[in-house]
Amino acid sequence: MPLFLDVNIAMSESGRRPLITGATYGLASKEFTPAMVKAVFDNLNAPEPRMQYVVGIEDDVTNSSLDYGAPISTTPESTKQCLFWGLGSDGTVGANKTAIKVIGLNTDLKAQGHFVFDSHKVNSAFFVTLLTDNSFSS
């Protein structure tokens, strides 16, 4: 919480008193999802917001977790998503990069890839999310 304390001190010294809360999120490489963002804003808008909290995991020690409810989809309905799993050095990354280029250059669709893998690459699991849509902005 050093950043939380630094921000509070700086604001206090400036004479300004905005609502400042401190959170822990994204622990253990968990994704920070739109539903979690909504939970944070819901907390900020509460009559008595929690000043320190955890979002993204169930904190059964301090019971300071924010409930974030069902997933919120931010993907347009026209978007097609494909998820590819692979092992490092099996050619999946190269094949997906080629697929993105082919789709982007030879169709009226826009293509986007998101690659997630660790630094060990060889024999380590990874995944690729391939998105296509004709409404993405260039």
3-state class (DSSP) for residue 37: helix
- pTM to 2 decimal places: 0.65
* Sole residue written with tokens 């950043």: 3
Per-residue pLDDT of the chain (138 residues; tens, 9 = 90+): 578 889 889 999 999 888 888 888 867 667 888 999 999 999 999 999 999 899 988 888 888 999 998 999 988 888 888 888 888 778 888 888 898 899 989 998 888 888 887 767 677 777 788 888 887 655
* Sole residue written with tokens 């919480």: 1
Q: What is the DSSP string of 71-138?
A: ----S-TT-EEEEEEEETTSSHHHHHHHHHHHHHHHSS-EEEEEEE--TT-TT-EEEEEEEEESS---
Extents of the domains making up the chain: 2-55, 80-133
